[in-house]
């Protein structure tokens, strides 16, 4: 009889824990679609701190790229056009330069390419940690579409065209 009560008690405890565990929503891993975009604090080319939170309420294309990357360079003219056309609609393009040398080197590149959108950098360790927060950037360019609420809606690995990006962006800037 005593064993029966112990068994029933144990079964009840397991059921309670199972119910509680199944009733909780699991957070999506950072860097995945549907997850909140990981916060960061990087430096723009004027030496000012910039955080992701500063762009809340806007649609963000967060582009991890490098100055030496051919496919990254191929996207730049389209990013410039998109930013010119859609900044007024709430689009922000933020480029995070990886393994691209000093801020002065990156600034020279930005000037030569006439980049009109925000370009950020930071120390290599911080940038490496940030790429891990975004799911481990395995190839560049890697670009994330982040909605006005700060949620990742799309991820592209490899270069894309303005048309491809805008098919997705238009769903969120028209809100």
Condensed to tens digits (0 to 9), the pLDDT of residues 116-129 reads 999 999 999 999 99
* Cα-based torsion angle of the residue sequence 69, 54, 28, 83 in order, rounded to the nearest 10 degrees: -40
In terms of C-beta density within 10 A (0-12 exposed, 13-18 middle, 19 or more buried), how is residue 162 classed? middle
**Strand order of the sheet with strand 59-65?**
49-51, 41-44, 118-121, 91-97, 59-65, 142-146, 152-157
121, β-bridge pairs: 43
pLDDT of the residue at 3: 54
Between CA 64 and CA 61 the distance in angstroms is 10
Between CA 117 and CA 3 the distance in angstroms is 70
| HSE value, Cβ hemisphere, 13 Å, CA-based, for 20 | 6
Strand pairing report for 118-121 and 91-97:
parallel
Between CA 101 and CA 36 the distance in angstroms is 29
In sequence order, what are the residues at sequence separation of 6 or more whose Cβ sits closer than 8 angstroms to the Cβ of residue 90?
Answer: 57, 58, 59, 148, 173
**Average pLDDT score over the chain:** 87
The model carries a pTM of 0.83
pLDDT of the residue at 28: 63
Percent of the chain residues past pLDDT 70, beyond the cut: 82
Q: Which domains does the chain have, with CATH numbers?
A: 28-173 (3.40.30.10)
pLDDT band at 11 (very low <50, low <70, confident <90, very high): very low
């Amino acid at each position: 009889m005593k064993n029966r009560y112990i068994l029933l008690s144990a079964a009840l405890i397991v059921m309670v824990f199972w119910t509680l565990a199944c009733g909780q929503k699991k957070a999506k891993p950072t860097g995945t679609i549907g997850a909140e975009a990981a916060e960061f604090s990087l430096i723009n080319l004027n030496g000012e701190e910039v955080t992701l939170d500063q762009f809340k309420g806007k649609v963000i294309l967060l582009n991890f790229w490098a100055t030496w990357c051919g496919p990254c360079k191929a996207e730049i003219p389209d990013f410039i056009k998109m930013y010119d056309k859609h900044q007024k609609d709430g689009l922000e393009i933020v480029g995070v330069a990886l393994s691209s040398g000093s801020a002065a080197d990156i600034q020279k590149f930005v000037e030569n390419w006439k980049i009109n959108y925000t370009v950020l950098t930071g120390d290599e360790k911080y940038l490496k940690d940030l790429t891990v927060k975004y799911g481990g950037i395995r190839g560049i360019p890697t670009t994330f579409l982040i909605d006005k609420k700060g949620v990742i809606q799309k991820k592209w690995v490899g270069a894309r065209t303005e048309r491809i990006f805008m098919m997705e962006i238009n769903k969120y800037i028209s809100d």
